[in-house]
Amino acid sequence: MKRALAIFAKTPLPGRVKTRLSPALSPQQAADLYRCMLLDTLERVAALDADKILFHDGAAEFFSETTPGVSLVAQAGGGLGTRLEHALDTLRIMGYGPCVVIGTDAPDLPVAYIEDAFRTLEQGSDAVFGPAGDGGYYLVGLREGYGSLFRDIPWSTEKVLEQSLVQAKCSGFSTRLLPPWHDLDCYEDLLRPDLMDPANGAARTQSFIAGLDLALPPAAGAF
């Protein structure tokens, strides 16, 4: 069956994206960085053997102009769980089999991890997660339905993956985990040395970060 890679993205507007990077970065800088991350992500996944569908939060015009050739679907309203359910329902209606969902917070994510996710589903696993360092996940993939996978999840906390695995078990899903990776969410993430590795392919993100005057933030209580 056809594979679908769903990419969740927002219009890169100041004050709406990467807000945890402020005040170290201005809202405009955070938005510009997010745009780089988005474009790097799309470029990196272009060669994957899967149809790419971008589920956008914000005006479609930006994505139509910036990401021509990528199928666009508006995200549903509501919380992240509702939006994920809507995306997967949409993909099933479109006739897709294995579906993998990523965001744009890991522009240096090895494409091999996404391919491994599809392979895992095609080999019979019901669900696959890519653990992130903050307790969430950078990727979720499903072979068929989603059961209660996105219900009662404490989104934006360190318990996201833990509770998602509980819900997967309650849904009777066989589950596999990919190797861990890092999201780029806070200022300290910008200082991660491997993010600047030229081999990782996130050229726009690297160039933008290189142009910033980055320094370690002071320790708590320092003066």
CATH 3.40.50.300, domain 4-210, yes or no: no
The confidence band for 167, taking pLDDT boundaries of 50, 70 and 90, is: very high
- Give the residue extent of every domain in the chain: 4-210
Give the percent of the chain with pLDDT over 90: 84
Mean pLDDT score of the chain, rounded to an integer? 93
Q: Which two tokens stand for residue 209?
A: 């970060």
pLDDT of the residue at 215 = 64
Beta bridge partners of 7: 54, 102
Report how many helices (DSSP H) and strands (DSSP E) the chain contains, helices first.
Answer: 7, 7
DSSP helix/strand/coil, 91: helix
The tally of CA atoms less than 13 A away on the side-chain side of residue 119 is 9
Q: CB count, 10 Å around CB of 186?
A: 14
Instruction: Quote the CA–CA distance of 123 and 182 in Å, as a whole number.
Output: 26
Longest dimension (CA), the chain: 60
Buried b / exposed e along 111-127 (16+ C-beta atoms within 10 A): eebbbbbbebbeeebbb
Instruction: Using DSSP, state whether 129 is helix, strand or coil.
Output: strand
Sign of CA dihedral 69, 195, 131, 49: positive
Spell out the alpha helix ranges (H) of 15-170: 27-45, 60-66, 80-93, 111-122, 160-170
Q: Which residues pair with 132 in a beta bridge?
A: 181
Residue matched to tokens 């993998």: 100
Q: What share of the chain is helix, strand, coil (3-state, %, to 5)?
A: 40, 15, 45
**pTM surpassing 0.85?**
yes
Query: Which conformational region is residue 197 in: left (phi greater than 0), alpha (psi within -120 to 50 degrees), or beta?
Result: beta
Dump pLDDT digits (tens) for 33-75. 999 999 999 999 999 999 999 999 998 999 999 888 899 999 9
In this structure, what are the phi and psi dihedrals at residue 142, rounded to the nearest 5 degrees? -135, 140
pLDDT at 214 (0 to 100): 79
